[in-house]
Amino acid sequence: MLKKRKRDEEGGAKEKDNMEIVWQTPANLPEKHDYIFRNGRRHVKPYYFEFICHVKSRWAGKTIVDLFADDFRGRPYDYYVGAVKCGRIKVEGEMVPVSYIVKNSQKISHFVHRHEPPVMACNVTVLQEEPDVVTVCKPATVPVHPCGQYRKNTVVGILEAEHGLGPLFPVHRLDRLVSGLLILARNASKADLFRQEIEAGLVQKQYVAKVVGVFPEDEQVVDVNVNFNAREGRSTVEVGELCGKSSVKGKAACTKFTLISTNGTHSIVLCKPVTGRTHQIRVHLKHTGHPIANDYLYLSEHETSWWPEGMSADRAAARRSGFMTSEDNGATNCESICKEDFDVDPMCTNCPDLTPKGYDGDEDALWLHCVEYSGPEWMYQCPYPDWAVLT
């Protein structure tokens, strides 16, 4: 395993005496001991990581501190001043003064004490192993591969740490809050074959969802454009005369829905997306008048009024949309007793807590689950979740 070890000499008095920093790179594979389990959540022990980017044209002309303070607002201004002074933020590998003016295309590195958000403490169950394919049941709240603040708390990371499976190449994507079947190729050539079949329209996929109300018995086909707003993190549909205008931003989308069962309050629905747009099933179900029953992002206010506090599957997204405030953060109170499990960095703006600031510890599984993918001469399936059986 490749590890780079260096002492942060520039940190001087701010660091512990003889504090050894283990600098991790993408070459460092996740290991079992990287994880901490608390109150039904899987946490990752904080670790040192270097983020590297290049100065964009809109950043050029700013001071190094203003660049970070303006565009990376997760930390306070004073943190960035200290990080530049002690060398945790460098330009072209060199220390610079806080007044340094950055230039276009320069390489900037930021050496951070990284805290990953927690996920549900569910196993990533291996369903089937073949010479060139692995299928698993992905737990909800766990992203498929490294993205954003997630690196080790991912399906790919957990499979490496707990099953020794790697390298793996995800064939398709499931949203972080969605559970169910995930197909991973064991080599790049097999992954390319799967993707070619998907792009050619030769692959069918099926999901199950638990929705509000009694769903119609006849098959429902929703064929309306879906427009994803990245800033808000949610999609909308575009229907009627709007779809005939050149200003339409949405993409063509089609989903077929079939009732499986109902108890008069909720229904279990089989969902067959013909296209693959962001949040397509979720927003198309909302369009039918039967949104997913715990989908905080797409339910109306009266549909969530009966929920106990903390039941939402998408509370973090709701907070970003203005439905919650920072005081509603449900991060577990165990953080203060977890400090013995990892070294506290005196410069870190998240320490001594285990969970990074701004992330909710109470996310639950969205009631949307992938059950089947099939293509020419192959089919993979995943068992139904417990919530798909109505009583």
Contact yes or no for 290/303 (Cβ under 8 A): no
Contact yes or no for 208/260 (Cβ under 8 A): yes
Token representation of residue 70: 């303006």
Token representation of residue 87: 């060398």
Q: What is the DSSP string of 12-74?
A: GGGSPTT--EEEE-TTS---GGGEEEETTEEEE--EEEEEEEE--TTTTTSBHHHHHHHH-TT
Q: Taking Cα atoms as reference points, which of 210, 218, 221, 216 lies closest to residue 282?
A: 210
Active-site option among 175, 328, 343, 364: 175
Helical ranges in 218-337 per DSSP H:
280-288, 301-304, 315-320
The 8-class DSSP code of residue 223 comes to: -
Helical ranges in 244-375 per DSSP H:
280-288, 301-304, 315-320
Contact yes or no for 172/370 (Cβ under 8 A): no
Helical ranges in the chain per DSSP H:
64-71, 77-86, 155-163, 188-199, 280-288, 301-304, 315-320
Rg value, the chain, Cα:
23
Q: Taking Cα atoms as reference points, which of 25, 19, 24, 43 lies closest to residue 33?
A: 43
Single-letter amino acid code for the residue at 327: E
Q: Hey, how many other C-beta atoms are within 10 angstroms of the C-beta on 278?
A: 18
Distance CA 328, CA 361 (A): 11
Single-letter amino acid code for the residue at 249: K
Token representation of residue 319: 């907070």
Burial 114-135 (b: 16+ CB within 10 A, else e): bbbbbbbbbebeeeeeeeebbb
Token representation of residue 380: 């993979």
| Active site (annotated) includes residue 328 | no
Tell me how long the chain is.
391
Nearest-5° angle of CA 209, CA 214, CA 219?
A: 70
Distance CA 122, CA 142 (A): 9
Residue with tokens 């909710």: 360
Catalytic center residues: 175
